Amino acid sequence: MDATIPPAARQATRAAAAPRAVAAWLFVCCALVFAMIVVGGVTRLTHSGLSITEWQPIVGTLPPLSDIQWQTAFAKYQATPEYQQVNKGMQLDEFKGIFWWEYFHRLLGRLIGIAFLVPLLWFVLRRNVPPGHAGKLATIFVLGGLQGAMGWYMVKSGLVDDPRVSQFRLTAHLGLAFVIFAAMFWIGLSLVFPQSRERVAGEPHSLRRFAYAVGALVFVMVLTGGFVAGIRAGFAYNTFPLMNGAIVPPELFMLEPWWRNFFWNMATVQFDHRLIAWALALIVPALWWKLRSTAGVPSRARVGGHMLLAILAIQVALGIATLLMAVPLPLAAAHQAGAVLLFAAALNVAHALRPSVYDAVGG
């Protein structure tokens, strides 16, 4: 049957299918990064991140397989500040419990590297990489390698004197994960919904900028969440909507110099995170309303606006519940997962508002 199809037609069919195949691969990688972020959050919440004291990208793929290897790994952990200052007296079975979370986190990172590199090479060899995308995909791979190094750089900060990792390195590690997710997600959307060079009169430029600003604000909220996690500010001020009876806690600027409060003060760090959440609670409904009421908005952007509003409502509820219940593991993990979904929803709306051929009937 295939022999009756002219070679030119077969080539055209493969060329048309290639972008969607690349997009599907990128969305799978996005799902893996999503899982990586959630597992990373669980690793942090279970205090498992410092259980593996060495960075061995190749040899470390295999876990301890014998009693001697387990004893060796445990002895290395016993030499760390976390064991000596926090977990003194921990038994081997307890150590295994935290070890497996960190091991799975690192193993998932290696899996993401393979899941990205192998298909990328396959697409390159078959010349299926869409024009103009080879450099972008290579950059994402480099960022993935830097993310692994950043993860170890973060862990090292907790293996010296302080049994806690640096909140700056943790936030950089988290932020870079979101950047990688955003790059893959945006390119995947662009391949599924290609941008047209034709522009339609009356395109909502201000609405597009509004959507981009919402996406940027969600990313900033993620970064403030990284600092909340880094200094464990979620375990303080477990009341809502007030912070221990105050709208603005009096401890907001208790540290000197003043700028240290934004990174080391639990009150200030949590207040900043709450403030951005309140801002999103006001801005996202405004965006949703403008998407509904503005003529010429594509239907995809309007549906995306519904999704963005719904996910924000769920995420805010999860954040409040996590705070009030003093950061229980299931809720905290769900809250971190919700941050990724909220970011993806904001990116989807912004992407749908790119200059393109809008529906003739106005969406």
Residues of the chain with pLDDT > 90, as a percent, come to 79
Under 8 Å between Cβ of 141 and 197 = no
Instruction: Mark residue 159 as left, alpha or beta (left: phi above 0; alpha: psi -120 to 50; beta: remaining).
Output: alpha
Instruction: Determine the pLDDT at residue 61.
Output: 79
Instruction: Determine the pLDDT at residue 362.
Output: 41
Closest CA to 362 of 203, 236, 246: 203
Half-sphere CA count of 201, side-chain side, radius 13 A: 0
Instruction: Determine the pLDDT at residue 355.
Output: 74
Instruction: Determine the pLDDT at residue 4.
Output: 59
- Residue 198 above 80 pLDDT? no
DSSP, collapsed to helix, strand or coil, labels residue 164 as coil
Rounded to the nearest integer, the mean pLDDT of the chain is 90
- Residue 203 above 80 pLDDT? no
- Residue 230 above 90 pLDDT? yes
User: pLDDT for 47-70, tens place per residue?
Assistant: 898 999 888 877 677 899 999 999
Helices (H) and strands (E) in the chain, counts: 11, 0
Instruction: Determine the pLDDT at residue 357.
Output: 44
Domain coordinates in residue numbering, the chain: 1-194, 204-363
Strand ranges inside the chain, DSSP E = none
CB neighbourhood size of 165 (10 A): 23
- For residue 79, give Cα distances in angstroms to 29, 87, 88, 99: 36, 11, 10, 15
Predicted confidence band of residue 276 (pLDDT cuts 50, 70, 90): very high
Instruction: Determine the pLDDT at residue 14.
Output: 52
User: pLDDT for 4-37, tens place per residue?
Assistant: 555 544 454 455 568 899 999 999 999 999 999 9
Instruction: Mark residue 296 as left, alpha or beta (left: phi above 0; alpha: psi -120 to 50; beta: remaining).
Output: left
